């Protein structure tokens, strides 16, 4: 479904991504792990189209998308969530998700009819909110939601665009144990019906959710394999020296 | 909350509607002129609020469209085309076209660069106005006659013109209100709130911003056409950066991204200005600090006194 070949991105002398090859199969949950500074966020940003790679190729569902800007990728079905919560703080949870629904319901050069209360937007948005467990909080401004709820909203907005591939950048970032458990439960339901790329530091979550894991170290993929085999991989253990896999 | 807002609007409109018979009865027709000028400039502020308040586009050149609208009426009149049915649509269309050209370039930039580019374009138009001697140059040009709407309305009648300005101001409020709550408006406001997020869910903000910029320019062009009829005299000063600043200040003082804000801002700014100018020649010395204080104490503008925060 997604195919990355020899992806390279440098910031000055730093090779943040150094010839990455990476594949995602239809239906799988593919985790990307790696120590801090391994280039995970740089990698994800290039997949989502927020950063232009220096060289290499990204194709999605058989189509070369390397030079496609982010909004076009999103409309093709590649949705992302952000590591640092990025929602519309002055809008209600429902508005946030309804906007994501609107983004993939044709153009928005409709100047007159009120968007709030348009069932074509509100109904799908409410379904997604129910899905992630935020329906009771729909009227709350995103800025006033708890951190864990904002993370759920992040995922809801990505989901509402009905993506074919979901790019989740550290969905557990900054969460307490209880919130993390709720997020893991949500993601394990999602993985039944979605193809997911999961970038995550929380190893517990990664090993519970991932079908395959790619390990990124110094901008290179040093291993891609099933969770069991990754656990036993020597090179990976070295990269995570001192950390318990 | 909504019912209170609507009540305030009805009260305000009733007040404005009752003003002409009242001031004529007490023999102060001057106020008719003042309030008409305020309402016309309020239309300019309402249009700027669409892009500044809701779109986050800090245009420091909005007076350009006031000038384009006014000069369209003046120049068409100069060549004997005095029909308002012709002049006003052309004024709106010309402003929209100029906004399209300026917007297409400047919306590619953001922040301080956007402010500077919009200012620069407007300065170009300002100097163009100064340099064309045929249309009065620096001295400005007198309107040969007001826009003609034969059989419908005579703008030479101050009371009739007053109600035209009132009607068009309310129409502008309504149009912007509808736009910002439509799908289009939601994209515009969302992209102001968080552009990266908008792009990530699939919106390219540029065409939406450009469309809003053109709508705002067109609406301000109408205000310009009205203003030319109001003063009967057009000067390049209408496109000066001070004029752009005045319009911008009305929006900020009244409350950005609020329905009533620009109208409130226009009324308060121009009424206070008028009062102070009546007391002393050096009214700006008092006016400046007042503006500073108002911005410090009314963070969300004067409209924030009446309403709760709204997305």
3-state secondary structure B176-190: HHHHHHEHHHHHHHH
Q: What is the rounded distance in angstroms from the CA atom of residue B33 to the CA atom of residue B36?
A: 5
The answer to whether the CB atoms of A69 and B204 lie below 8 A apart is yes
**Residues in chain A within 8 Å Cβ distance of B178:** 111-112, 114
Predicted confidence (pLDDT) per residue in A97-129, tens digit: 999 999 999 899 999 999 998 999 999 999 999
Checking if the pLDDT of A233 tops 90, the result is no
The minimal CB distance from B202 to the residues A82, A91, A104 is found for: A104
Judge: B185–A86 Cβ closer than 8 Å, yes or no: no
Residue A226, classed as helix, strand or coil, is coil
Q: Kindly compute the dihedral angle of the four CA atoms of residues A217, A220, A224, A228, in this order, to the nearest 10 degrees.
A: -10
| pTM, entire model | 0.93
* pLDDT score at B189: 97
Helix, strand, coil % (nearest 5) of chain A?
40, 25, 35
Contact A109 B184 (CB under 8 A): yes
Q: What are phi and psi of A21, to 5 degrees?
A: -110, 135
> B54 near B188, Cβ under 8 Å?
yes
Task: Provide Rg for chain A, Cα atoms.
Answer: 18
Q: Which residues of chain B have pLDDT under 70?
A: 1-2, 307-311
Task: For chain B, give the number of residues.
Answer: 311
Shortest alpha-carbon distance between residue B202 and chain A (Å): 4
Residue A242 has pLDDT above 70, yes or no: no
Question: From A76, which residue of chain B is nearest by alpha-carbon distance?
Answer: B202
Res A245 pLDDT > 60: no
Contacts of B174 in chain A (CB under 8 A): none
Asked if A216 and A197 touch (Cβ cutoff 8 Å), the reply is: no
- Encoding tokens for residue B80? 């004997």
- Contacts A110 to B, Cβ<8 Å: 182-184
pLDDT of residue B311: 41
DSSP state of B277: H
Residues of chain B with C-beta less than 8 angstroms from the C-beta of A88: 190, 193-194, 197, 311
Average the pLDDT over A120-141 and give the result: 95
Q: Are A127 and A119 a contacting pair, CB within 8 Å?
A: no
Backbone angles phi, psi at A103, to 5 degrees: -60, -25
Q: Please answer yes or no on whether A79 and B211 come within 8 Å at the CB atom.
A: no
Contact (Cβ atoms closer than 8 angstroms) between residue B190 and residue B181:
no
Question: CB B223: neighbour CB atoms within 10 A?
Answer: 32
Among candidates B196, B207, B211 on the partner chain, residue whose Cβ is nearest the Cβ of A86: B196
Exposure of B127 in the CB half-sphere (CA atoms within 13 A)? 5
Q: b/e string for A29-66 if b means 16 or more Cβ within 10 A? A: bbbbbbeeebbbbbbbbbbbbbbebeebebebeeeebb
Three-class SS of residue B193?
Answer: helix
For the packed helices B183-193 and B205-231, what is the interaxial angle rounded to 10 degrees?
A: 110
Average pLDDT, stretch A154-160?
Answer: 95
Report yes or no: B57 and B217 within 8 Å, Cβ to Cβ: no
Q: Cα separation of B140 and B132, whole Å?
A: 10
Measured at the CA of B226, the angle between CA B223 and CA B230, to 5 degrees, comes to: 130
Q: Where are the beta strands (DSSP E) in B19-170?
A: 141-142
Would you say the C-alpha torsion A82, A84, A88, A91 has a positive or negative sign? positive
Quick one: chain B helix, strand, coil %, rounded to 5?
A: 75, 5, 20
DSSP assignment of A8-60 equals EEEETTEEEEEEEEEEE-TT-EEEEE-STTSSHHHHHHHHHTSS--SEEEEEE
pLDDT of residue A244 exceeding 70? no
A165-169 sheet: strands from edge to edge? A78-81, A165-169, A195-199, A29-33, A212-217, A220-225
The tens digit of pLDDT for each residue in A172-217 reads 988 888 889 999 999 999 999 999 999 998 888 999 999 999 999 9
Task: Report residue A93 as tokens.
Answer: 């949870």
Q: Which of B94, B70, B57 is nearest to B223 (CA)?
A: B70
A37-51 pLDDT tens trace: 888 989 999 999 999
Please, which pLDDT band fits residue A226 given cuts at 50, 70 and 90? very high
Determine, for residues A50 and B179 on separate chains, whether the beta-carbon distance falls below 8 Å.
no
Q: Are strands A78-81 and A2-11 parallel, antiparallel or unpaired?
A: unpaired
- The phi, psi pair for B142, rounded to 5°, reads -85, 140
Angle between helices A119-132 and A93-103 (to 10 degrees): 120
| Residues A172 and A202 sit within 8 Å (Cβ to Cβ) | yes
**H/E element holding B262?**
helix B261-279
Can you give the length of chain A in residues?
245
Residue ranges of chain B whose CB lies within 8 Å of a chain A CB: 178-179, 181-187, 189-190, 193-194, 196-204, 207-208, 211, 309, 311
The C-alpha atoms of residue B126 and residue B244 are separated, in whole angstroms, by 11
Q: With CA atoms as reference, report the closest residue to A162 among A227, A104, A98, A237.
A: A104
The whole-angstrom distance between A212's CA and the closest CA on chain B is: 25
């Amino acid at each position: 479904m997604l195919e990355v070949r020899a992806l390279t991105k440098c910031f000055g002398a730093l090779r943040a991504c150094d010839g990455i090859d990476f594949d995602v199969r239809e239906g799988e949950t593919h985790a990307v792990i790696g120590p801090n500074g391994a280039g995970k966020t740089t990698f994800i940003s290039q997949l989502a189209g927020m950063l232009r790679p220096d060289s290499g190729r990204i194709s999605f569902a058989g189509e070369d998308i390397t030079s496609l800007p982010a909004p076009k990728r999103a409309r093709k079905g590649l949705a992302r969530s952000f590591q640092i919560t990025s929602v519309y703080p002055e809008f209600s949870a429902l508005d946030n998700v309804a906007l994501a629904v609107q983004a993939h319901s044709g153009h928005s050069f409709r100047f007159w009819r009120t968007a709030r209360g348009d069932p074509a937007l509100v109904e799908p948005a409410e379904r997604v909110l129910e899905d992630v467990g935020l329906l009771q909080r729909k009227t709350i401004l995103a800025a006033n939601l708890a951190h864990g709820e904002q993370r759920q909203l992040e995922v809801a907005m990505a989901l509402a665009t009905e993506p074919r591939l979901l790019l989740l950048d550290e969905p557990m970032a900054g969460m307490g144990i209880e919130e993390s458990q709720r997020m893991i439960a949500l993601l394990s339901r999602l993985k039944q019906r979605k193809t997911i790329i999961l970038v995550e530091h929380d190893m517990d979550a990664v090993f519970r959710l991932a079908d395959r894991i790619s390990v990124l170290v110094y901008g290179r993929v040093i291993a891609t394999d099933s969770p069991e085999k990754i656990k036993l991989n020597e090179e990976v253990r070295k990269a995570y020296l001192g950390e318990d896999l | 909350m909504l019912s209170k807002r609507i009540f305030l609007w009805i009260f305000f409109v009733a007040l404005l509607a009752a003003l002409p018979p009242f001031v004529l009865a007490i023999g102060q027709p001057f106020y008719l002129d003042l309030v008409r000028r305020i309402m016309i400039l309020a239309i300019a502020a309402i249009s700027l609020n669409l892009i500044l308040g809701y779109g986050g586009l800090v245009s420091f050149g909005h007076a350009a469209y006031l000038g384009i609208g006014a000069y369209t009426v003046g120049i068409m009149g100069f060549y004997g085309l005095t029909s308002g049915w012709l002049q006003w649509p052309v004024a709106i269309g010309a402003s929209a076209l100029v906004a399209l050209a300026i917007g297409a370039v400047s919306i590619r930039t953001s922040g301080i660069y956007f402010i500077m580019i919009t200012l620069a374009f407007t300065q170009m138009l300002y100097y163009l106005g100064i340099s064309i001697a045929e249309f009065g140059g620096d001295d400005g040009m007198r309107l040969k006659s007001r826009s003609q709407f034969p059989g419908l309305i005579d703008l030479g009648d101050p009371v009739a013109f007053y109600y035209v300005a009132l009607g068009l101001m309310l129409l502008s409020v309504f149009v912007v209100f509808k736009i910002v709550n439509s799908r289009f408006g939601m994209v515009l406001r969302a992209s102001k709130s968080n552009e990266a997020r908008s792009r990530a869910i699939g919106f390219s903000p540029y065409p939406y911003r450009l469309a809003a910029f053109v709508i705002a320019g067109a609406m301000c062009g109408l205000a310009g056409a009205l203003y030319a009829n109001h003063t009967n005299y057009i000067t390049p000063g209408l496109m000066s950066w001070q004029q752009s600043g005045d319009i911008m200040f009305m929006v900020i003082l009244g409350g950005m991204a609020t329905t009533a804000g620009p109208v409130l801002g226009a009324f308060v700014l121009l009424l206070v200005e008028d009062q102070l100018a009546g007391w002393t020649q050096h009214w700006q010395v008092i006016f400046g600090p007042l503006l500073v204080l108002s911005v410090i104490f009314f963070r969300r503008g004067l409209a924030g006194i009446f309403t709760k925060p709204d997305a």
